[in-house]
Amino acid sequence: MASESNTPLLAQNQREGSSFLKACFNGTNAFLGIGLLTVPYALSSGGWLSLVLFFLITIMTFYTGILLKTCMDTDPTIKSYLDIAERAFGKKGRIIVMIIMNSELYLVAIGLMILESDNLRKLFPNFMIKIGDLLVIEGRQSFVLITALVILPSMMLTELSILSYVSATGVFSCLIILGSIFCVGVFGGVGFHEKGSLVKVSGLPTAVSLYIVCFAGHPVIPSIYTSMKNKHQFSQVLLFSFVLTTLTYLLTSCVSYVMYGDSVESQITLNLPTKLISSQVAIYTTLLIPVTRYALMLTPVANAIEGGLSIDYKNSRKVQLLVRFVLLVSTTMIAYVFPYFENLMAIVGSIFVALGSFVLPCLCYLKISSSYKRWNFELVGNVVIILFATLAGILGSYSSIAELVHNY
């Protein structure tokens, strides 16, 4: 998951003009992320036939990515997702999309803290923080606090270019995790013997929501497009990125499912035996993701908050630090009391990604191109995508909230 303002690599490429290979790397990095850890759980929730919906989601999000590019071609001054929204629906549209994008980033930041604490607990199950006889903080909660302390220095920075370059290695991190999982199956005594379930109707809403999370990179598509030297190659770049991303997600989910079947955890790394070197490589690689991406996720949120302040405060260094500190504290508090990573990601997918990657690109395209005035196959296709995302959002949200109520 990515945001428009967290990629200095793209900013540099916009000045220099990125090549085909650089654009492919940026595109793949935008879509290949923490969804890799939850996609096995998604397959376990829905069964093998849910992969039909996974491929359908892949095709639809590829199409909506092309729609964003088409919107940009209508006006050379359009440089970002927010510009597209403003061109279609004015200032109100820009504000609504900004709220949607920042809400998604805020929830993903919480998810990163839960992810870090879950995997640290996997490595150190007996760890606790004990302050005299007054306070004992056990297990996952202790690691949430430790994670917050580790992340704190990066949140105090306003120049995050170094972290951006580190987080851009996300593609390689995901490939390392996939290779490590495969090695556990081959050399770790786990094997590939589980058959799994053909279909689980009750789990399909959760599965679809988590599949949708895998393709949450649409806010970055305009930046990739504007950064290219040869913009005529954008369709090939997007196709390459989607093919590589889809194959990686597909291999990870299928390999994990035949390894662990219906006992797949919300994060596949939680299934891996910690004594194996390949498992440790996967878990430690996973641990780097929150450390390098947390501040990048919340910086656009902080910038949006600061942008709404009066001119006397928005450029104040103290105010900037205070805003970032409050964001860190609030996400830490939520992650401390909310341990359900899979439910949080399902909510992100069913509400925010469904809007950002399905509904809004179609609505913006129909408005900008005036295609809604002509009844044809293109209009029908866009309406079908909007209806699919709306239905998936409603069912996914209901399923996730119902599961949360049951767990509590």
Where residue 16 falls among pLDDT bands split at 50, 70, 90? low
pLDDT for residue 43: 97
CA 201/CA 326 separation, integer angstroms: 41
Question: For 150-206, what is each residue's pLDDT tens digit?
Answer: 999 888 876 656 666 666 677 888 999 999 999 999 998 899 999 999 999 999 999
pLDDT for residue 348: 93
Mean pLDDT of the region 363-379: 88
Residue 1 clears pLDDT 60, i.e. is over it: no
pLDDT for residue 4: 44
CA 146/CA 131 separation, integer angstroms: 14
What is the b/e burial string over 261-282, where b = at least 16 CB atoms within 10 angstroms of the residue's CB?
eeebbbbbbbbbeeebebbebb
Question: For 287-313, what is each residue's pLDDT tens digit?
Answer: 988 888 888 888 888 888 888 777 777
Residue 407 clears pLDDT 80, i.e. is over it: no
Hey, which of 2-6, 9-13, 153-157, 226-230 has the most confident mean pLDDT?
226-230
Residue 70 tokens, joined = 């088409």
pLDDT for residue 317: 82
Question: For 348-364, what is each residue's pLDDT tens digit?
Answer: 999 999 999 999 999 99
Task: Give the residues across from 18 on adjacent strands.
Answer: 228
What is the b/e burial string over 285-311, where b = at least 16 CB atoms within 10 angstroms of the residue's CB?
bbbebbbbbbbbbbbbbbbbbbeeeee
Q: How far is CA 259 from CA 28, 129, 403, in A?
A: 26, 35, 25
Mean pLDDT of the region 6-19: 56
Instruction: Tell the residue number behind the tokens 């606790």, with chain if given.
Output: 128
When the pLDDT of each residue in the chain is averaged and rounded to a whole number, the result is 88
Mean pLDDT of the region 229-242: 92
Percent of the chain residues past pLDDT 70, beyond the cut: 92
Question: For 43-65, what is each residue's pLDDT tens digit?
Answer: 999 999 999 999 999 999 999 99
128 φ, ψ to 5°? -155, 160
pLDDT for residue 164: 63
**DSSP-derived 3-state class of residue 136:** strand
Where residue 17 falls among pLDDT bands split at 50, 70, 90? low
pLDDT for residue 165: 67
pLDDT for residue 5: 41
Residue 30 clears pLDDT 90, i.e. is over it: no
Domains plus CATH for the chain?
20-407 (1.20.1730.10)
pLDDT for residue 206: 94
pLDDT for residue 6: 44
pLDDT for residue 263: 94
pLDDT for residue 160: 59
Where residue 381 falls among pLDDT bands split at 50, 70, 90? very high
